[in-house]
Amino acid sequence: MPTLRHDERWKRSVGARVVVDDRGGGVLRYYGNCKKTDDPSDHGKTMCGVELDDQTGLNDGCYGVWRYFTCDPGYGVFSPVTKVHFEAEYYSPHATAKRRADELQKQRRPPTAPGSADATRMKRLEAENRRLKARAKALVVGKKARPGSIKRQAAAADDETNHHEQRSSSAKGNRAYAERVIRDAAGSSVAGHRQSDAKERG
């Protein structure tokens, strides 16, 4: 919240050159309370309305349903006081050195510092990976157990097939043996009859 003295300085500086963070330079066209709607409950907030040098803005001087200044479309922007700087102060040696030091500090800072959002996200991903690995391991164990049962079923089927084949082979052997005995018996009977006939003729 700007102090009264700070607030008066900004009001007196309308028309001065300023620099907006991430937007570039421009001219301060408005300073004061900005409301987006005409709702009585919308108390608004203190903003700086700036007409930018380049078309890097968001509007043409309108904030919500209200117009606070006029400029070409895309050249206007409303920003909090903390993101707007007087141009002379922004490019002073002290401010320039401070910005460079801040940039170097950001570059040296690790991307996943302890307690940061990135570190929390990494921990969540690691926990998810551990859960997925455990699930995959359980599935692999289940798959390893299944071939054994399949092999046992196949072995049982083979045994039953072999048993049927053995029974079939045994039945075929018995039938062949019976046929051979019958043929031998028939042959013996014929030979006996022939010998009897020969004796009677003699």
Distance of CA 19 to the CA centre of its chain: 40
- pTM beyond 0.85, yes or no: no
- pLDDT tens sequence across 166-177: 655 555 555 666
Task: Average the pLDDT over 63-83 and give the result.
Answer: 94
What is the reported pLDDT for 166?
60
Mean pLDDT computed over 63-85: 94
Residue 159 has pLDDT above 80, yes or no: no
Give percent above pLDDT 70 in the chain: 63
Q: Which residue has the higher pLDDT, 61 or 161?
A: 61
Q: Is the pLDDT of residue 105 over 70?
A: yes
Question: Can you give the pLDDT at residue 62?
Answer: 94
Q: How far apart are CA 70 and CA 1, in angstroms?
A: 26
Q: Are 34 and 59 in contact (CB under 8 A)?
A: no
pLDDT reading at 129 higher than 90: no
Q: Which residue has the tokens 């031998």?
A: 184
Is residue 47 within 8 Å of residue 80, measured between CB atoms?
A: yes
- Are the CB atoms for 54 and 24 separated by under 8 Å? yes
Question: Mean pLDDT score of the chain, rounded to an integer?
Answer: 78
Per-residue pLDDT for 93 more than 60? yes
Q: How confident is the model at residue 75 (pLDDT cuts 50, 70, 90)?
A: very high
Q: Measured in whole angstroms, how far is the alpha carbon of residue 135 from the centre of its chain? A: 17
* pLDDT of the residue at 23: 93
Answer with the residue of higher pLDDT: 80 or 109. Answer: 80
β-pair type (84-86, 17-20): antiparallel
Tell me the residue ranges of DSSP E strands in 39-146.
45-52, 62-63, 66-67, 76-79, 84-86
